[in-house]
Chains A and B, each alone.
Chain A
Amino acid sequence: DVKVTQSSRYLVKRTGEKVFLECVQDMDHENMFWYRQDPGLGLRLIYFSYDVKMKEKGDIPEGYSVSREKKERFSLILESASTNQTSMYLCASSLTGGVYGYTFGSGTRLTVV
């Protein structure tokens, strides 16, 4: 089974801090994605990557950046955390084409205080 691992299950950070969320997948998937999930808003795409060192903006990239230096690792960076970035962050990966759907990590619940 594909495994997608997110480094932290729960995280509490202060406003203005730089926050790193790490995601690692172990099945050689080309594609990786970062979503956030909020009540009433569903999953919203932040950034995605189809290859190493490649990144594309999703629907809500403002306040975020990403890094993909290795195929198996996709990092989400909150440049200066704000309270409206309190959310559940979900990383996912897929094979090229995504025809088999995505596999998600177990999520990081981030609280910014």
Chain B
Amino acid sequence: RKEVEQDPGPFNVPEGATVAFNCTYSNSASQSFFWYRQDCRKEPKLLMSVYSSGNEDGRFTAQLNRASQYISLLIRDSKLSDSATYLCVVNRKGGGNTPLVFGKGTRLSVIA
């Protein structure tokens, strides 16, 4: 099983749609979870951390299911500016200072 696995997409959705991305991770000891956004030919940027209780930031909602080792990102009311690649990120193993492992990303295109 890959360390972090994502559906590569692309997801092509109309403006205003709700879209959900899923991610699974292999190491049950992982403790830090994030979603990053990467625009074409740009560096990844932190979108949001993911907490066990789930968390929301405006139109974005992240969920974590530790038992299933599954992370999700929900985007409501999609905007053209949401078009990007979304990277699921977890730390390599339990404990504080371990490197982050990046999924290969899910590409989203929001269409007018």
B21 within 8 A of A: no
Nearest 8 A/B pairs, CB to CB = A42-B104, A104-B43, A97-B96, A43-B102, A101-B46, A101-B34, A107-B43, A106-B43
Are B32 and A43 closer than 8 Å at their CB atoms?
no
Are A103 and B46 closer than 8 Å at their CB atoms?
yes
B100 within 8 A of A: yes
Query: Which residue numbers of B lie inside 8 Å of A, CB to CB?
Result: 32, 34, 36, 42-46, 49, 87, 89, 91, 96-105
Interface size class of chain A, counting residues whose CB lies under 8 Å from the partner chain: 20 to 34
Are A101 and B49 closer than 8 Å at their CB atoms?
yes
Contacting residues, chain B, for A99 (C-beta < 8 A): 32, 49, 96
A5 to B105, CA, bound (A): 24
Given A99-B32, A101-B89, A106-B43, verify A45-B96 contact (CB < 8 Å). Answer: no
Are A43 and B44 closer than 8 Å at their CB atoms?
yes
Are A101 and B97 closer than 8 Å at their CB atoms?
no
Can you list 18 A-B contacts with CB-CB less than 8 angstroms, sorted by A residue number? A40-B104, A42-B104, A43-B44, A43-B87, A96-B96, A97-B96, A98-B32, A98-B91, A98-B97, A98-B99, A99-B32, A99-B96, A101-B49, A101-B100, A102-B46, A102-B100, A104-B43, A106-B43
Nearest B-chain residue to A103, judged by Cβ: B46
A107 to B40, CA, bound (A): 12
Query: Which residue numbers of A lie inside 8 Å of B, CB to CB?
Result: 31, 33, 35, 40-43, 45, 48, 50, 58, 90, 96-107
Instruction: Name, among A31, A58, A96, A99, the residue most crowded by chain B CB atoms within 10 Å (CB to CB).
Output: A99
Given A101-B46, A107-B43, verify A42-B99 contact (CB < 8 Å). Answer: no
Are A104 and B44 closer than 8 Å at their CB atoms?
yes
Shortest CB distance A29–B (Å): 12
Of B42, B43, B103, which is within 8 A of A42 by CB? B103
Nearest A-chain residue to B43, judged by Cβ: A104
Contacting residues, chain A, for B104 (C-beta < 8 A): 40-42
Shortest CB distance A105–B (Å): 6
